[in-house]
Amino acid sequence: MEHLRKRVLVTGGAGFLGSHLCKRLVANGDDVLCVDNYYTGQKKNLEHLMGAPNFEMLRHDITFPLYVEIDEIYNLACPASPIHYQFDPVQTTKTSVHGAINMLGLAKRTKAKIFQASTSEVYGNPNLHPQNESYWGHVNPIGSRACYDEGKRCAETLFFDYHRQHGLAIKVARIFNTYGPRMHPNDGRVVSNFIVQALNNAPITIYGDGSQSRAFCYVDDMIDAFISLMETPENITGPVNLGNPEETSILMLAQKIIDLTDSTSKIIYQPLPEDDPIQRCPDIRYAEEILQWRPSTKLEDGLKKTISFFREFFRNR
């Protein structure tokens, strides 16, 4: 069956996930408009697409309205790591809330289907494990992470209210830890932190005792899920958990990265930050059912590709 060429807007398209999504959509033959204000996104993430006739970039902040003609919107714009979203917490909340209002308004005007990149952070520091979509979360609304957690929760509220009130076609994905090439080297996330420290033979910093666990999904698997979710029938709105259900302790991750980089780094321990979740793992049975999707990239294979990217990144600096 011939692919129907669509006009697709990707907000936050110069970021880690956004750049991978743009690449996939361009390869699929869609006309892609990438919008980013370059707060955390980087133009060099999209260098490989610059010559493509069906790719366009626009510098724009989605806290301001955008007037374009579009068939689909992937709303990925928002700093996603604590070091970035806590730098200007008011702007983080504005990006999630005002940004959602502006993109939903655009979708309403153009009758576009709209995808929201929500987050596992809507579950806060969960007291249910693993987390399924019916769990309402355990979030501190006034803590240092609340600008992101509550901003994303409010964005979900807006998406479902636009869906109920205006009949908008929405898709809401709750994204769990994702890693891979083009991660920001200074984003403070655990995979990039450990790889950068290991490649420099610097001490690897673990917050807490390292027993806390995360579930790491390789970026290619995540992009597969984004596109599959966008293509589901209109009665499927989500929210749907997207991530890898296999847990890894932070200490085990550090040791694996030291081994894969042949690093001489030693592990050091620091106090756990405020509201840092002890366990974070998705229940993806709903995604398996509606998308026939499950991550297939083994952690070691994904880490090798990510380490190669960072080696090349530091070589060319």
The CATH number of whichever domain residue 232 belongs to comes to 3.40.50.720
CA 312 from centre of chain = 23
Across residues 48-55, what is the average pLDDT? Answer: 94
Q: Which residue has the higher pLDDT, 179 or 208?
A: 179
Q: Please indicate whether residue 85 is annotated as part of the active site.
A: no
Task: Evaluate the omega torsion of the peptide bond into residue 141 and state whether it is cis, within 30 degrees of 0.
Answer: no
HEC string of 100-147 equals: HHHHHHHHHHHCCEEEEEEEHHHHECCCCCCECCCCCCECCCCCCCHH
Tell me, yes or no, if the pTM score tops 0.85: yes
- Determine, yes or no, domain membership for 199: no
Domain count, the chain: 1
Across residues 105-129, what is the average pLDDT? Answer: 94
| Residue 301: pLDDT band with limits 50, 70, 90 | very high
Across residues 223-252, what is the average pLDDT? Answer: 96
Q: Are 101 and 165 in contact (CB under 8 A)?
A: no
The pLDDT assigned to 257 comes to 97
| DSSP state, residue 213 | E
Separation of alpha carbons 107 and 67, rounded Å: 10
Straight-line distance from the first to the last Cα atom of the chain, in angstroms, rounded to the nearest whole number: 44
Q: Are 96 and 217 in contact (CB under 8 A)?
A: no
Mean pLDDT of all residues in the chain? 93
The pLDDT assigned to 276 comes to 67
pLDDT digits (tens, 9 = 90+) for 53-92: 999 999 999 999 999 999 999 999 987 767 777 878 899 9
The pLDDT assigned to 87 comes to 79
The whole domain housing 137 covers 7-179+217-245+281-296
**pLDDT at 163 exceeding the cut of 70:** yes
- Determine, yes or no, domain membership for 258: no
Separation of alpha carbons 224 and 19, rounded Å: 14
Separation of alpha carbons 103 and 159, rounded Å: 10
- Determine, yes or no, domain membership for 82: yes
**pLDDT at 1 exceeding the cut of 60:** no
Buried b (16+ CB within 10 A) or exposed e, 46-74: beebeeeebbebeebbbbeebebebbbbb
**pLDDT at 227 exceeding the cut of 60:** yes
| Residue 280: pLDDT band with limits 50, 70, 90 | confident
Active-site hit among 74, 148, 162, 286: 148
- Determine, yes or no, domain membership for 226: yes
- Determine, yes or no, domain membership for 205: no
The pLDDT assigned to 85 comes to 73
**pLDDT at 279 exceeding the cut of 90:** no
